[in-house]
Amino acid sequence: MTKKITISSIKKAKGVRPLVMITAYDALFARLLEPNSDMILVGDSLNMSFAGKNDTLSATLEQMLYHTNAVCNGAKNSFVICDMPFGTYTSKEEALKNCIRVFQETSADCVKIEGGVDKAEIIAHLVSNGIAVCGHIGLLPQSVRSEGGYKVKGKTEEERIQLIKDAQAVEAAGAFCMVIEGVKAEVASEVTACVNIPVIGIGAGSGVDGQVLVFSDMLGLFEEFTPKFVKKYLDGSALVKEAIKNYADEVISREFPQEIHTY
């Protein structure tokens, strides 16, 4: 996957092959993820795993611009999504002004907006002004304080109907794909079948058009908590701690540096 995927090929992948999305926050990891991902998401989850905050809400546009630039620099052939942080798309005008900054100050290919029916007008305004949008429905991390926690969606008939309406509104507004987070698997499959654009799941089962995971979760680097939907493909924190201990031991014993590390 060395050539950047286009919006048209992302749309065409629906029903043909699953799409791979992973988050990255810097050039170093973006470069490592690039060969095996269709899309790299600069998620505002960086506020938790990178900046050490309790939730995503205090992430700023300046932070997202900085990290999006870093990712674009590291993965020049990747399709990069910049997550619009909380409070930057409260009105059509505000959203357009902030998304224009993302497009002018980074090489991001699109932005991601949390919300469904309630954000459809804003998404349509962005799309009609040349901003490509990836939607985000279901569990919305930016609503964690107003909802009093991270609540899995699709458990009631009312939520099921709302999710379908949200997905259809996001599609009708012109988004080219959407993330669906924290939704009962059978409902996420139904939602996926109700729209013609790819639906990328996180904690939404396997009946969707692709998957996204936060890189620090799937590499086992984020120790604070592990959501049920995360599969750890590496015991990153144990490996890093072991390496650092080996280094510290060798510094203390003067085993490092050796001749080969010396000018």
Asked whether the beta carbons of 204 and 180 are under 8 A apart, the reply is yes
83 binds ligand KIV (CB under 6 A): yes
Task: Please report whether residue 212 would count as binding ligand KIV according to CB under 6 A.
Answer: yes
Nearer Cβ to ligand KIV, position 174 or 222? 222
Stretch that binds ligand KIV, among 25-33, 38-46, 189-197, 232-240 (CB under 6 A): 38-46
Query: Is the bond into 141 cis (omega within 30 degrees of 0)?
Result: no
Q: Shortest gap between Cβ of 110 and ligand KIV (angstroms)? A: 13
Distance CA 21, CA 31 (A): 14
- Indicate whether 75 belongs to the interface with ligand KIV (CB under 6 A): no
Residue from 10, 14, 22, 23 touching ligand KIV (CB under 6 A): that is 23
Q: Which of 114, 158, 181, 223 is catalytic?
A: 181
Give all strands (DSSP E) within the chain, no chain letters: 19-23, 39-42, 79-83, 110-114, 133-138, 177-181, 199-202, 210-213
Q: Does 43 bind ligand KIV (CB under 6 A)?
A: yes
CA pair distance 200, 134, nearest whole angstrom: 10
Region binding ligand KIV by CB under 6 A among candidate stretches 7-15, 42-50, 99-107, 254-262:
42-50
Identify the residue among 30, 170, 183, 214 touching ligand KIV (CB under 6 A).
214
Give least dist CB 163 to ligand KIV, A. Answer: 16
Residue 188 main-chain phi, psi, to 5 deg:
-60, -40
Residue reference for tokens 């954000």: 119
Q: Is 18 helix (H, G, I), strand (E, B) or coil?
A: coil
Q: How many CA atoms lie within 13 A of 33 on its CB side?
A: 31
Measured in degrees and rounded to the nearest 5, phi and psi for residue 184 equal -50, 135
Q: Interface with ligand KIV includes 34 (CB under 6 A)? A: no
The residues, ordered by sequence, that sit 6+ positions from 62 with a Cβ below 8 Å of its Cβ are none
Binding mask 45-64 for ligand KIV (x = CB under 6 A): x-------------------
34 is catalytic: no
Minimum separation from the CB atom of position 261 to ligand KIV (A) = 38
Binding residues for ligand KIV, per CB under 6 A? Answer: 23, 41, 43-45, 83, 179, 181, 202, 212, 214
Catalytic residues: 181
